[in-house]
Structure 1
Amino acid sequence: MKKDAVAYLNTRKKGDFAAQQSEVENYCKYRFRIVEIFRDHRANATPPEKRKGFAAMLEYCTVNNCSEIIIYDLADLAKDMDSGLAALKTLNDRCTVYCVNNDFFGHRDDPELRREAVGNFIAYMDRYRESTRKAAPPASKKTKRGDGRPIGRPRALNEGQVEALLTIRQAGTSISQICRMFDISRSTVSKILADYPELKGEWKGARQEPAE
């Protein structure tokens, strides 16, 4: 028997809604019955809790006792990683969250274990978020200008964030998704993965060798 569920889409381009709605419906075909679809458009810079569609979805779930939420993609939940994780925690505290794309949590048929897996992921990421807040190591005298500013470009990610990046890459998250989650370029990810060839994957635009 299918479970009732709501879907939340955070779209960015004009044709995203129709395309994502189709993928959501295909994902839910044998498992869920979508009763409502909530949507925010071009709201990536706004924290999820301040979006009309996101707030309406939470209210609907509370009033109607709906415990299953389908999102299109975890990395599309918010542009900022802290906001995205906070929103995921809010959803996981109330409901069971499923992702149409790049779902690395598992336990799709066991809501209790799935929520535990999502909670463990959030707790793991929180460790590194907390360590980054405590302060980055001060720049040495050799790396400062006369006015006190550091010489050169600052590092895109600190050690804790790099560890978090490697973890979610090992879990199967795509490089494009990682770029959006950490707000970094693809070349930065490639540099970080240079020492981990098993995690680099193949470029979609890899050049084909000419046929003999």
Structure 2
Amino acid sequence: MKKDAVAYLNTKKKGDLAAQTAEVESYCKYRFRIVRLFHDHRANATPPEKRKGFTEMLEFCAANNCSHIIIYDLASLARDMDTGLATLRALNDQYTVYCVNNDFIGFRDEPELRREAIGNFIEYMDQYRENAKKAAPPASKKTKAAGKRPIGRPRALNDGQVEALLALRQAGTSISQICRMFDVSRSTVSKILADFPELKGEWKGGQRKSEE
């Protein structure tokens, strides 16, 4: 029997809504009945709790006792990784969240186990964030005294973030999605993966087969 669910899409381009809606319908074909679809457009820089479509979705779920939420992918929750994880944590406390694209969580047919797996993933990422804070190099005395930023170009990602990036790539997350989650360019990700050829993918027809 299909479960009732809502879908939430946060799109960037004009044609994304139709394309992602079709993917949602295909994903739900045998598992879910979409009772309502909510949508925000070009709202990536706005925190989810301040988006019209997102807040309407939460209100609908609360009023109609709907416990299953389907999103396109984790990166579409928020542009900033910390905000995205915080949003996922809040959703996971009350609902079961499913991803149409790049779902590496598993347990699609077992809501309780899926929520537990999402909780474990968030805890895993939190550990890397804490390690990243501890590993961040202190500012030099000269910089502190002058009240200026350190000389030279700052690193795009610190050690903890690099470890988290590698973990996500090992879990099967695409390079495009990683770029959105960490707000970095493909060239930055490629440089990090240069020392890990097994995570870069194989060339096929002029493009890397496993990058997308």
TM-score (normalised: structure 1): 0.90
Distance in 1, matches of 2:75 and 2:103, equals 10
Other-structure match for 1:170: 170
Task: Kindly provide the amino acid, as one letter, of the partner of residue 96 in structure 1.
Answer: T
Task: Kindly provide the amino acid, as one letter, of the partner of residue 116 in structure 1.
Answer: E
In structure 2, stretches of 5+ residues that fail to align are: 208-212
Task: Kindly provide the amino acid, as one letter, of the partner of residue 51 in structure 1.
Answer: R
Other-structure match for 2:150: 150
Other-structure match for 1:63: 63
Q: CA deviation digits over 1:56-106, x for unaligned, max 9?
A: 111111111111110011111111111111111111111111000000001
In structure 1, stretches of 5+ residues that fail to align are: 208-212
Distance in 2, matches of 1:189 and 1:110, equals 34
Report how many aligned residue pairs link the two structures: 207
- With over 3 angstroms needed to count, the CA separation of the structure-2 counterparts of 1:172 and 1:147, relative to structure 1, is same
Task: Kindly provide the amino acid, as one letter, of the partner of residue 184 in structure 1.
Answer: V
Distance in 2, matches of 1:137 and 1:105, equals 33
Distance in 2, matches of 1:197 and 1:91, equals 35
SS at match of 2:100: strand
Other-structure match for 2:14: 14
Displacement over 6 Å in runs of 4+:
141-144
- Residue identity over aligned pairs, in percent, reads 80
C-alpha RMSD of matched pairs (Å): 2.2
Q: CA deviation digits over 1:18-42, x for unaligned, max 9?
A: 1111110111001100000011111
Other-structure match for 1:210: none
Would the aligned equivalents of 2:10 and 2:39 in 1 still touch at CA under 8 Å? yes
Distance in 1, matches of 2:25 and 2:58, equals 20
In the TM superposition, residue 148 of structure 1 has moved relative to its aligned partner by 4.7
In the TM superposition, residue 128 of structure 1 has moved relative to its aligned partner by 2.2
Other-structure match for 2:74: 74
In the TM superposition, residue 131 of structure 1 has moved relative to its aligned partner by 3.5
TM-score (normalised: structure 2): 0.90
In the TM superposition, residue 202 of structure 1 has moved relative to its aligned partner by 3.4
SS at match of 2:45: coil
